[in-house]
Structure 1
Amino acid sequence: MSEVSGVGVACVITVSDRASRGVRDDASGPVAADLLTGAGWQVESRVVPDDQDAVAGSIRTAIDRGARLVITTGGTGLAPRDVTPQATAPLLRLALPGIAEEIRRVGAANVPGAMLSRGLAGIAGNALVVNLAGSTGAVRDGVPVVLSVAEHVLSQLDGGDHE
């Protein structure tokens, strides 16, 4: 990945054992990619298993390759293999809990179970990283929340003013 004209480079990482093995199609990743592309982002997508090292490694690789926005889908629930927040937390140099709280609030207005997501948001390297739940509905609810602040976050990281 490299910087391009437009908003910037984003990476969507779907966290799913079944999708990573090809047992089922990735439904949420393409929805996130379409929403980001529609907002002017250049998007790369990948699918990784529910494995802490695989998730963390994929986030690090995306940032190292130039992604300024990394959105994960899946692995934020209560099941034993839901490890996306545990993989993300050590990478964040700055937590942005308000983003994750707003994503849960918006989602819970549609599906009460959305408040059970343990997704995180914050800054890793020079990128905004956000965990979304793995359903297409969670992605449709969450990506607009992310997009509402992403450009401002990146401007701030680049030394911009609060305009």
Structure 2
Amino acid sequence: MKWKTAILTASDKGSRGEREDTSAQVIRELVEEELNGEIIEYRIVPDEEDEIIAALIEMTDYFQANLVLTTGGTELAARDVTPEATRRVIEREVPGMAEAMRAGAMKKNPAAMLFRGVVGIRGRTLIVNLPGTPKGVHENLAAIMDQLPEALLMVTGQFRL
């Protein structure tokens, strides 16, 4: 099964074209090579809660992505609001996946404890917040990659016991 995947980058500089979005490139590679995913939508928005919310809703409800991976806006700075925006959009959290990402990344980088990302479900879409650096994206996705297919089967209603 090819998983329909959307990538959302929250970055003021990225949205203004002042920074290359290397984190999204890492996401794209990992999704296509390790998850058998197909990128159906990609967008960069500024670190504005309302814009992040609107993009998440469009990616889940209109594009009907099975998986939305966000990058950026997950640390402690005042403009880092991706987790708050995600919580306003999701219907249920999946705390174990967020905990696994933090725990896995902290083995290599103690600063990963500052990552505030959440994982949750909206309809039949799994939304995963990732850090805003290529290294952080790789470490966090690696921590959950083996469970993503099963999670997606469950969320999309295809998992049968």
When the two structures are superposed, what TM-score results if normalisation uses the length of structure 1?
0.91
Tell me which stretches of 4 or more aligned residues in structure 1 moved more than 6 Å.
none
Q: Distance in 1 between matches of 2:23 and 2:152?
A: 24
Q: How far apart are residue 159 of structure 1 and its match?
A: 5.0
Q: How far apart are residue 46 of structure 1 and its match?
A: 1.4
Q: Distance in 2 between matches of 1:27 and 1:155?
A: 29
1:160 is the counterpart of 2:159 = yes
Q: Gapped runs of 5+ residues in structure 2?
A: none
2:88 pairs with 73, 80, 90, which one? 90
1:60-71, aligned counterparts within 5 Å? 60-64=57-61, 65-71=63-69
Q: How far apart are residue 124 of structure 1 and its match?
A: 1.0
Tell me what 1:58 maps to. Answer: 55
Q: Distance in 1 between matches of 2:57 and 2:146?
A: 24
Q: Distance in 1 between matches of 2:160 and 2:77?
A: 41
Q: Gapped runs of 5+ residues in structure 1?
A: 1-5
Tell me what 2:77 maps to. Answer: 79
Across the aligned residues of Structure 1 and Structure 2, the Cα RMSD in angstroms comes to 1.2
2:20 pairs with 17, 20, 25, which one? 25
Aligned residues: 157
SS in 1 for 2:5: strand
1:8 is the counterpart of 2:12 = no
1:145 is the counterpart of 2:143 = yes
Q: Distance in 1 between matches of 2:96 and 2:2?
A: 22
When the two structures are superposed, what TM-score results if normalisation uses the length of structure 2?
0.92
